[in-house]
Amino acid sequence: IRFMMNQEIEKSGTGIKGAVIPETVTKNDISGMLWSNLEAYFNMNTYIGTHLNDASGNGHRGSLIQPDSFSINEQTAPLPYITENDGNWNVDNNWINGNVNFIPGSIRVINGVNKAITWNIAVVHHDMVVTNKNYKFLGLEVSNTGKLAMTNDKGLNISHILTLNGFIDLQGESQLVQGNNSDLIPSTTGKIEIDQQGTSNTYDYNYWTSPVSIINNGVNNNGFDIASVLKDGTLINNPRDITFTGTGVRDGAPGTASVAATISGRWLYKYGNTTSNTYANWEYAGPTGNQLAGEGWTMKGTGATGPTQNYIFVGKPNNGNIDLDIDNGNDYLIGNPYPSALDAHDFISDNPDTDGTVYFWEHWGGNTHILASYQGGYATYNYSGGVGNATLGTSNPDVNQGGIPTKLPQRYIPVGQGFFVTGINDGGQIRFRNTQREFQKESNGQSIFVAAPGSTPVVSEDGINTPWDTRLKIRLGFDSSNLIHRQLLLTVDSSSTYQFDRGYDGRLLDEQIDDMSWQINTDKFTIQGVPSIENETELSLFIKLEDDSNFSITIDDLLNVSPTQNIFIKDSVLNTYVNLMNGDYTSPVLTAGTYDDRFSVVFTLPETLSNELLEATETDVVVFTPNHVTEVHVKKPVEIEIGDLYIINMLGQQVRTYDMTGKVGVLKLDVSQIASGNYLIKMNTNLGVVTKKVIIK
């Protein structure tokens, strides 16, 4: 009934079709119905005397109860709704017969609740029809003389069919959503405009893709070249062709009232289904290089005033199934191909040929075109949640005073956002589907254009991976002497295991000069999902140091974690346990290099240790080197008994071993044969292991 509400029915062979929606539409709600099954059809178009004709051909007549009292009036039913004038959508007089009908998308009482009608069919014939409300239609036609402007950051949702020969202007954060099996008529030649903001910094990359394709009569999703679809949006109501420089010019130039913005053509690259971690496989795209719908590209800013440059995409909106090939072990720079947000969870679920994580480049510093000096990395997102890339101190505008990223990737991937995926099967495919599309605004906090500078949005209540997520989450922060801050995420989810789980474990793509990651077997991860936290749970850490230095580990954030939960950093060489719930962990000074089997996260102490004893030994045992003697002295109370004592260098090697069993008073260690430097004194005592730092001169 809803499918036929704004159209009459017609005979098609032995079947039935709508007079407005073609029977070839993918989502045909009356498909399979037979004309012969009609008992009667009174379409109110013809009559004889006081009788209505039966259009079914079955010869029925519709008779008046009072044949001597009637009048004949013109039919005013909206079959479909058609605009009458330019102007506001919500003004009755701007629709044919609008003075006697509710306008399309009106709020009505449905089952006792006020709801918007979402199954109208509307036709826009006029040049400037403007609306500032969210609308959902069964069918929408914008004729070649029509223009529809969606203002005030609103959503336009089409459930069945869009016929676009005119122009839809999606202003601000407005979006076009077409649902599952919703058709965009391929023969139409209209266009949309849709905005997105990228960095204005001429040194920094954003990863992009296009939500539109080049207009082609008869073909949808036929791809794009950058110069054809991307326009300068400096003047919001007047998109202009961007000027692209040649490959020899490194910087762009901002737009003005009279001159469009310039983008350096030197930095326009793509990365298509090629071997992972191979920088040479970047392929030059250029302003006019052909790209498939869904493929991404790199681009630097124009130098516009302020943190962002506004761009406007112009072209035929992408819609429906879009597929790209991907092979095992290969990376592909792709992006959200639709003029609406993309649900990352649905995308991951629909793409079993990828590793289940999406990777967003964030370029936050360096102010240079020299690759080795870039400051940036990959933020990651999957079912477990999102983490930002490693940062350098507080030079990133999206990093707070603790060096922690505040702009984390969220569930919904915004319009134009490019990202990497990694293939795990030979002959695999990347699948974009309308079922992945949602109207989600960046200002609502669940959709963030990564690397476009801006204030941290307010996160809305929306279930998984929000502050209302009921899963236990631990975010650990790593800080190095070179001011690198890396955040790791641990999420407890019963769907995961302690091994690699597609969609729950996110790989480390951008190893920094100093870094930390989870380690599963020999692979490194920034996100790890585990089924539970048990007494025996031990999660291995990978640590990398550029220089002889120390590092610290802190708790960046906790969600759904009991205040009695312990989180220890374990050093297996020194047999030490530091509870992060009581304060940060700071390592001893270590030799530059990698440590892949020394540090881990555990959640309980061995039976021989306790929190109280560790706290007591910090003050009760004193280690020092007296002046003018080559000795190390250990002073302890009588209740602490020391057995074996070790001197350990910063490589974790035992330099000397002493048996102190039964000795009392101040213990004196001869270190005349030990080289000067920093060492650790490890003591096995009746109250557990005690470790102290000492400098031997």
Mean pLDDT of the chain: 90
Mean pLDDT of 398-421: 74
What average pLDDT does the segment 420-430 reach? Answer: 96
Q: Is the pLDDT of residue 202 over 90?
A: yes
Judged by average pLDDT, the poorest of 274-288, 402-416, 469-483, 567-581 is: 402-416
Average pLDDT over residues 456-479: 70
Examine the domain organization and report whether 206 and 347 are in the same domain. Answer: yes
pLDDT by residue (tens digit) across 630-657? 899 998 887 788 989 999 887 778 889 9
Q: How many CB atoms lie within 10 A of CB 242?
A: 20
Q: Which of 399, 432, 456 is the last residue of a domain?
A: 456
Counting the structural domains of the chain, the total is: 3
Percent of the residues in the chain that have a pLDDT greater than 90, as a whole number: 71
Last residue of a domain, one of 456, 487, 502: 456
Tokens of 355: 């590793």
Predicted confidence band of residue 401 (pLDDT cuts 50, 70, 90): very low
Q: What is the mean pLDDT of residues 404-408?
A: 58
Q: Does residue 102 fall inside a structural domain? A: no
pLDDT category at 387 given cuts 50, 70, 90 is: very high
Q: Is the pLDDT of residue 319 over 80?
A: yes
Q: Give the highest mean pLDDT range of 64-68, 160-164, 234-238, 650-654.
A: 160-164
DSSP-assigned letter for residue 42: -
Do 598 and 640 sit in the same domain of this protein? no
> 9-23, 48-62, 230-244, 267-281 — which is least confidently predicted?
267-281
* 3-class DSSP state of 6: coil
366-384: average pLDDT: 87
Distance CA 140, CA 188 (A): 13
* DSSP secondary structure letters along 546-602: SSSB-EEEEEEEEES--TT---EEEETTTTEEEEGGGS-EEPPPB-SEEESSSEEEE
pLDDT of 658 higher than 80: yes
Q: What tens digit of pLDDT does each residue of 307-318 get? A: 999 999 999 999
Q: Is residue 43 part of a domain?
A: no
Say yes or no: 268 and 320 in one domain: yes
Residue 462 has pLDDT above 60, yes or no: no
- Write out the H or E segment, with its range, that includes residue 242: none
Mean pLDDT, to the nearest integer, of 431-456?
77
DSSP string, 347-396: HHHT-TTB-S-EEEEEEEE---S-GGG-EEEEEEEETTEEEPPPEETT-S
pLDDT of residue 394: 43
Q: To 5 degrees, how large is the angle CA 547–CA 553–CA 554?
A: 145
pLDDT of residue 684: 86
Closest CA to 134 of 114, 113, 150: 150
Domain interval for residue 637: 611-696
Instruction: Indicate whether 277 pLDDT > 80.
Output: no
Window from 69-83, 573-587, 649-663 with minimum mean pLDDT: 649-663
Q: What are phi and psi of 593, to 5 degrees?
A: 145, -165
Least confident stretch, 53-57, 353-357, 494-498, 664-668: 664-668
Q: How many Cα atoms sit within 13 Å of 531 on the Cβ side?
A: 8
Does some domain include residue 528?
A: yes
Residues 437, 295, single domain; the answer is yes
Specify whether 555 is located in the same domain as 638: no
Q: Which of 416, 432, 456 is the last residue of a domain?
A: 456
Q: What does the pLDDT read at residue 420?
A: 96
Q: Note whether residue 441 is domain-resident.
A: yes
Q: Between 39 and 363, whose confidence is greater?
A: 39
- Structure confidence at residue 48 (pLDDT): 85
| 505/420 same-domain check | no
Q: How far is CA 103 from CA 50, 78, 155, 269, in A?
A: 31, 9, 18, 48
Least confident of 87-96, 150-159, 520-529, 619-628: 619-628
d(CA 167, CA 149): 8
Q: Is 233 helix (H, G, I), strand (E, B) or coil?
A: coil
- What's the N-to-C CA distance of the chain in angstroms? 91
Summary count for the chain: helices (H), strands (E): 3, 59
Average pLDDT of 494-502?
A: 97
Question: Does residue 547 sit in the same domain as residue 589?
Answer: yes
Mean pLDDT of 49-58: 90
Instruction: Say yes or no: 546 and 585 in one domain.
Output: yes
pLDDT (0 to 100) of residue 497: 97
Q: In this model, does residue 154 exceed pLDDT 60? A: yes
Question: Rounded to two decimals, what is the model's pTM?
Answer: 0.85
Quote the pLDDT of residue 466.
65
pLDDT digits (tens, 9 = 90+) for 589-633: 999 999 999 999 999 998 755 444 443 344 678 888 887 788 999
pLDDT (0 to 100) of residue 454: 42
* Maximal C-alpha separation, the chain: 129
The dihedral built from the CA positions of residue 214, 215, 217 and 220, taken in this order, carries a sign that is positive
Q: Of 197-206, 242-251, 524-533, 688-697, where does mean pLDDT reach its minimum?
A: 688-697
pLDDT tier for residue 69 given thresholds of 50, 70 and 90: confident
CATH of the domain at 649: 2.60.40.3080
Considering the domain architecture, whether residues 663 and 691 belong to the same structural domain is answered as: yes
Q: State the pLDDT confidence band at 479, using cuts at 50, 70 and 90.
A: very high
Q: What is the pLDDT of residue 638?
A: 77
- The mean pLDDT value for 17-29 works out to 96
Q: Is the pLDDT of residue 403 over 60?
A: no
Answer yes or no: are the C-beta atoms of 300 and 198 closer than 8 Å.
no
pLDDT recorded at residue 469? 84
Residues 329 and 202 in one domain: yes
For the ranges 134-148, 266-280, 388-402, 523-537, the lowest mean pLDDT is seen at 388-402
Which of 104-118, 130-144, 394-408, 611-625 bottoms out in mean pLDDT, i.e. has the lowest?
Answer: 394-408
Q: What is the pLDDT of residue 245?
A: 96
Position with higher pLDDT, 446 vs 198: 198
User: Average pLDDT for residues 656-664, to the nearest whole number?
Assistant: 89
Query: Based on the domain organization, do 256 and 397 belong to the same domain?
Result: yes
Q: Tell me whether residue 122 is in a domain.
A: no
Do residue 439 and residue 492 come from a single domain?
no
Asked if the structure places residue 598 within a domain, the reply is yes
Higher pLDDT, 405 or 626: 626
Does 124 map to a domain?
Answer: no
- Compute the distance between CA of residue 683 and CA of residue 687 in angstroms, rounded to an integer: 10
Condensed to tens digits (0 to 9), the pLDDT of residues 123-142 reads 999 998 999 999 999 999 99
With respect to residue 107, please indicate whether it lies within any of the assigned structural domains: no
